[in-house]
Amino acid sequence: MHNKHLKVRSNSMLSFFKVAGTAHNLSFTGQEILRDKVIGLDGPKRKLLIVEEKAEEYDTRIIYLDDVGVCKVKKTYAAINSHEYRKNRPEEYLKSIALEFEFDTGEMPVMVSFYKNSVNSIYEIPELEARARHWATTLSKMLPKSPIKNTVS
């Protein structure tokens, strides 16, 4: 029963994602389906559409890659006591893995979560981290390069 509910929820979110993409005239060259969000890249238009489920509604955000200065994977850990560190693996302290977008426009950074310890299993970490790193690498290659400043005196 639980799997059927997840599949219905996922299909509903994917349907909303397709409608949002069409409404913004986007054609996706790549997409990622996660538990509570869908990410789609329109490479030629250099836009990223993110649809995220929040409280049974969908939140839509478009990131313009021309405005992004840095795209990186960010891991957040809980506090680690020195006497507990030897007993537990570092993964047990991992709170989240996210793509972080820092903007050249001064806009607040945007985080797109791939792993949350409150939602995902510790056994999902390697796969979700690899997927986040793949997106960070792909998107970083598409970011505008800072002009090289020649300082000739």
Residue by residue, pLDDT tens for the chain (153 residues) are 456 656 677 788 899 999 999 999 999 999 999 989 999 999 999 999 999 998 878 999 999 999 999 999 999 988 877 666 566 677 778 999 999 999 988 899 999 999 999 999 999 999 999 999 999 999 999 998 755 444 444
- CATH architecture, range 2-142: Roll (2.30)
The CA distance from 102 to 105, in Å, is 9
**Number of Cβ within a 10 Å radius of residue 34:** 20
Give residue 150's region: left, alpha or beta (phi > 0; psi -120 to 50).
beta
Q: Tell me the pTM.
A: 0.83
CA angle, corner 111, sides to 60 and 95, nearest 5? 125
Residue matched to tokens 């560190």: 85
**Domain boundary assignment for the chain:** 2-142
Cβ 63 vs Cβ 110: under 8 Å: yes
Task: Please report the pLDDT score of residue 136 as a whole number.
Answer: 96
- Give the length of the chain: 153
Q: Residue 152's pLDDT is what?
A: 47
